[in-house]
Amino acid sequence: MKGYVLAVVGAVSYGLIPLFILPLKSINFPLESTLFYRFSMAALMLLIYICYTKESLKINAKELLYFVILGLMFAGSSEFLFLGYDHSSPGIASTILFVYPVIVAIIMAAFFREKLARFTIISLIVTTFGVSILSLKGETLEFNFLGVLYSVLSAICYAVYIVVVNKSKLRASGFKLTFYSLVFTAMYFLFQALSSDNSLAYPSGDVLLEIAIFALVTTVISMTALVYAIQSIGSTPASIMGALEPVVAVGISVILFHEEMTLTLVLGIVVILCGVIINIVADSKKSPVH
């Protein structure tokens, strides 16, 4: 029960992203500056915990290279997700992001010669159909190319992040790995902010506090809860519980930010979630240990 509760906490906290990012965007605080503060504050919070547990932060050159790659992939996933917010909606972008387990399976088949299972192919077809449904407006297929493209790129970056973690054979703990990933993610957005002449000055203490809570809830709590959930109940049940992420994001967008709840939105979400869960369950049956 503890593991399932933690999985729910992790999924719900990550799904709360629209609750924090949309108000910050509404006051025109630069996205790059927002994400720099979010990830640097999250890294600082994890650093405090790592120092408390007295875990060594030493890394070698190979680990450094992997951590830089992980940071760039995490940054890419975040940046593309919020661009997806701009061109479609938080609900649609968050739902499309959730297809990342299917993309992981495709990457493993394409680059690591893992057999693409029949159920994975079915899952790919179902999720593609779900994305198509999300593009429907009324009775016509109005394909928001940029919105879907950015959301898919976000999912691809996150899928690559997971593959690198799995295949790099890093000996670092989950907290150490997450800490360094966040450090290089923050550095990426710092470079973005400085190169685009965006100010790092925050409008008020209230805004900085909101970003700190944003970092704590959607990054630190989400990642920490997920790590402990996987250790307790395994990756497959934890991944399935992750289906709550887009559901929460859509709920917040509809209730608080007046995103229109249409039949196509509901149907698209359900179809995509079914497709992803088919892939996760099929993956659990072919792998004896999770």
Contact 155, 76 (CB under 8 A): no
**For residue 235, which amino acid is it?**
S
How far apart, in Å, are the Cα atoms of 160 and each of 42, 76, 154, 207, 268?
22, 10, 10, 32, 24
Q: Both ends of the chain: CA-CA distance in Å?
A: 18
Which stretches of the chain are assigned E, i.e. beta strand?
136-137, 140-141
Q: What sign does the dihedral 92-149-82-120 (CA atoms) show?
A: positive
Q: Do 150 and 83 touch, CB atoms closer than 8 A?
A: yes
Task: List all residues 6 or more positions away from 48 whose beta carbon is below 8 Å from its beta carbon.
Answer: none
Burial class (CB within 10 angstroms; exposed 0-12, middle 13-18, buried 19+) of 273: buried
- Tokens for 179, please give them: 């800490």
**What does pTM read for this prediction?**
0.85
Q: How far apart are CA 134 and CA 148, in angstroms?
A: 9
Helices 174-195 and 222-233: crossing angle in degrees, nearest 10, is 150
Tokens representing residue 218 in the block: 């959607």
Contact partners, residue 94, CB within 8 Å, separation at least 6: 15, 17, 18, 81, 245, 246, 249, 250
Beta-bridge mates of residue 225:
none
* Tens of pLDDT, residue by residue, the chain (290 residues): 888 888 889 888 988 988 898 888 888 888 899 999 999 999 999 999 999 999 999 999 999 999 999 999 999 999 999 999 888 888 888 888 888 888 888 888 888 887 777 887 888 888 888 887 876 665 555 667 788 899 999 999 988 998 888 888 788 888 898 899 999 999 999 999 988 877 788 778 888 999 999 999 999 898 888 878 877 877 667 777 777 888 888 888 888 888 788 888 888 889 988 988 887 777 666 655 44
Spatial CB neighbours of 16, under 8 Å, sequence gap ≥ 6: 217, 218, 248, 249, 252
Residue whose C-alpha is closest to residue 103's, from 269, 272, 245: 272
Nearest to 279 by CA among 105, 155, 156: 105
Q: Is the alpha carbon torsion for 65, 71, 75, 76 positive or negative?
A: positive
